[in-house]
């Protein structure tokens, strides 16, 4: 069964867009971070604090594989780091997988993350100056993995509905 996989940097809108796309298409949406939180009964912040990032990355890989192998059609919203660890980027081109990179500029990411950083352990403790520099470097490093997606949708200056419309064009 087909899996629509949304990927991209923290704050690009994976969870928001996947949710709206799910309502429009009636294909169920699962958010990788949410499943991990439910399975562990811990928040993403608590997992990073108590078990460390390596533990999180292992769990993230296992849950991603499990979802890809599940028998139903699904929209899967990845975490920002998912494609960048455990060779997960190779799964973006698998059979029955349609992967879409939601591409956002550093400015868009900064604007969305600055008001929304507390639940994201990688940036939670950074000030605005540090955040800007971190996003710029980190996005550069990660782009290699994000570019393994089959499709790319630029999200800058688009409403949620406009981005969803671009994705529907790809699905058509
Ligand atoms: N046009 C837009 N598209 C998607 N998200 C937007 C948009 N404008 C503002 N936002 C906000 O940006 C944030 C994106 O966060 P989220 O969907 O959690 O991204 P991700 O899952 O990629 O980290 C949300 O707070 C969302 O409300
Ligand atoms: O970029 C990352 O490494 C992460 C992104 C987060 O997901 P979002 O991209 O949905 O914020 C979450 O998986 C965790 O905090 C690590
Ligand atoms: Mg998310």
**How many A from CA of 10 to the centre of ligand 2?**
5
What is the arithmetic mean of pLDDT over 109-129? 94
> Is residue 116 within 8 Å of residue 95, measured between CB atoms?
no
User: Is the predicted pLDDT of residue 29 greater than 90, yes or no?
Assistant: yes
Which strand ranges, in their side-by-side order, compose the sheet holding 3-7? Answer: 29-31, 74-77, 3-7, 97-103, 151-154
Tell me what pLDDT residue 1 has: 77
pLDDT given at position 55: 97
Ligand 2 binding site (Cβ under 6 Å of any ligand atom): 10, 14-15, 33, 44, 79-81, 120-122
Q: Best of 5, 8, 11, 116 to mutate for ligand 1, by most ligand atoms within 8 A of CB?
A: 11
> Residue whose CA is closest, atom 27 of ligand 1?
16
Q: Is the pLDDT of residue 114 over 90?
A: yes
Domains of the chain: 3-165 (3.40.50.300)
Cα–Cα distance, 95 to 98 (Å, whole number): 8
Q: 74 C-alpha to center of ligand 2: Å?
A: 20
ipTM higher than threshold 0.90: yes
The H-assigned helical ranges of 26-87 are 32-40, 44-50, 53-68
Q: Residue 107: pLDDT band by 50, 70, 90 thresholds?
A: very high
Helix (H, G, I), strand (E, B) or coil at 122: coil
For 50-76, give one letter per residue: b (16+ CB within 10 A) or e. eeeeeebbebbbebbeebbeeeeebbb
At residue 95, does pLDDT exceed 90? no
pLDDT in tens, 59-82: 999 999 999 999 999 999 999 999
């Amino acid at each position: 069964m087909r899996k629509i996989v949304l990927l991209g940097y923290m704050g690009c809108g994976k969870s928001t867009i996947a949710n709206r796309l799910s309502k429009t298409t009636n294909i169920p949406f699962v958010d990788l971070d949410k499943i991990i939180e439910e399975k562990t009964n811990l928040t993403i912040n608590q997992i990073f604090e108590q078990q460390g990032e390596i533990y999180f990355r292992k769990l993230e890989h296992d849950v991603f594989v499990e979802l890809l192998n599940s028998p139903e059609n699904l929209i899967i919203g990845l975490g920002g780091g998912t494609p960048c660890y455990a060779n997960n980027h190779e799964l973006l081109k698998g059979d029955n997988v349609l992967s879409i990179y939601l591409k956002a500029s550093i400015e868009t990411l900064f604007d969305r993350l600055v008001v929304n950083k507390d639940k994201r352990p990688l940036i939670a403790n950074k000030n605005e100056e540090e955040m800007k520099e971190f996003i710029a470097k980190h996005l550069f490093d990660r782009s290699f993995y994000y570019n393994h997606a089959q499709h790319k949708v630029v999200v800058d200056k688009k409403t949620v509905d406009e981005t969803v419309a671009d994705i529907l064009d790809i699905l058509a």
